[in-house]
Amino acid sequence: EVQLVESGGGLVQPGRSLRLSCAASGFTFDDYAMHWVRQAPGKGLEWVSGISWNSGSIGYADSVKGRFTISRDNAKNSLYLQMNSLRAEDTALYYCAKDLGSTTVRAIDYWGQGTLVTVSS
């Protein structure tokens, strides 16, 4: 059974940093691309960032480019999101998500339950 378990969310002040982690199990982690997708309270889904199986291809939404960094450790079956210079508008539930493909972005077939990030003073 595929499991994606996010951690690292919490309350943080504007301008500060936070690192999200996602522990993956139930599939061959290094065979698939992975993503972070967020959802602000009462709002729609927003793709944040994606990374190919070997970290050779990485993409970011314009809203986080230059502030967030995605990475993965295939030896630890883990995905990460380093979030710097956080803003109030980054407040959201952050989902770790698995892609159907390894290099090309096709679709997200599994989602975690999310970790809540609240940016507020």
Partner 1 sequence: QSALTQPRSVSGSPGQSVTISCTGTSSDVGGYNYVSWYQQHPGKAPKLMIYDVSKRPSGVPDRFSGSKSGNTASLTISGLQAEDEADYYCCSYAGSYDVVFGGGTKLTVL
Q: Using the rule CB under 8 A, is 23 a contact of partner 1?
A: no
Q: Which is nearer to partner 1, 16 or 87 (CB)?
A: 87
Q: Collapsing DSSP states into helix, strand and coil, what is residue 8?
A: coil
Q: SS3 sequence, 10-56?
A: EEECCCCCEEEEEEEECCCHHHCCEEEEEECCCCCEEEEEEECCCCC
Q: Using the rule CB under 8 A, is 31 a contact of partner 1?
A: no
Among 25, 54, 85, 104, binds partner 1 (CB under 8 A): 104
Assign residue 114 a region (left: φ > 0; alpha: ψ between -120 and 50; beta: otherwise). Answer: left
Q: Position 89: which residue type?
A: E
83 DSSP β-pair partners: 18, 68
Q: Which is nearer to partner 1, 19 or 43 (CB)?
A: 43
**CA-closest candidate to residue 82, choices 92, 94, 70:** 70
Q: Which is nearer to partner 1, 52 or 72 (CB)?
A: 52
Q: Which is nearer to partner 1, 23 or 105 (CB)?
A: 105
Among 8, 27, 77, 105, binds partner 1 (CB under 8 A): 105
What does the binding site for partner 1 look like in residue numbers (CB under 8 A)? 35, 37, 44-47, 50, 52, 57-59, 61-62, 95, 100, 104-109, 111-114
